[in-house]
Structure 1
Amino acid sequence: AAVASLGLPGLAGFWGEMLALFGAFDPHDGLSRPAFLTFMAIAAFGTLLTAAYMLIVVRRVCMGAVRQDAPQPPFADVRTYEFAAWAPLVALTVVAGLW
């Protein structure tokens, strides 16, 4: 869920954020365009903050501190069971974002 919420193109959370920003860029004739451009800038900044803290959360939850005495495999960041758990989730997230 955290990866899908990043708001990057191709992921599930991108489309709602993109449509909200496009809607703020071109408001209805009776609405204040400068106000909506301000809202759009704030929303874009919020999207960047969301991506930053979601990536921090994923890193802290999934990648704990490595002990110094532990043997280091060639691909030390991801263990086999972690890869087996994350690979289907990543694939489904990308498929849902493209669909």
Structure 2
Amino acid sequence: MKYTKREIISAYRILTKNIQQNDLGWRGKMILSDVLDDYFSRIEGEIVVVDPKCGSFRCPKCNTVITSRYDHYCRDCGQKFDWRETR
């Protein structure tokens, strides 16, 4: 099931209201906001980087070699690929 960004942010606000305002509560809020930031940073597709020396394809976020040309996401960091300019 897909959720919109607005629904996820409102769920985040509801969760953070229920977390206590102590050290563990602040840590929980930080972890939750980091997870949401990481999730939303992956949604945008990035153009795949082509290595000029050997012609291999690399992930634009973590710079790992892409083994299959038909992958839509990086296996290491989860970055979505945009293959339109390389095919």
State TM-score, norm by structure 1. 0.41
- More strand by proportion, 1 or 2? 2
Name which one, 1 or 2, has greater alpha-carbon Rg: 1
Pick 1 or 2: higher relative contact order, CA cutoff 8 A, min separation 6. 1
- More helix by proportion, 1 or 2? 1
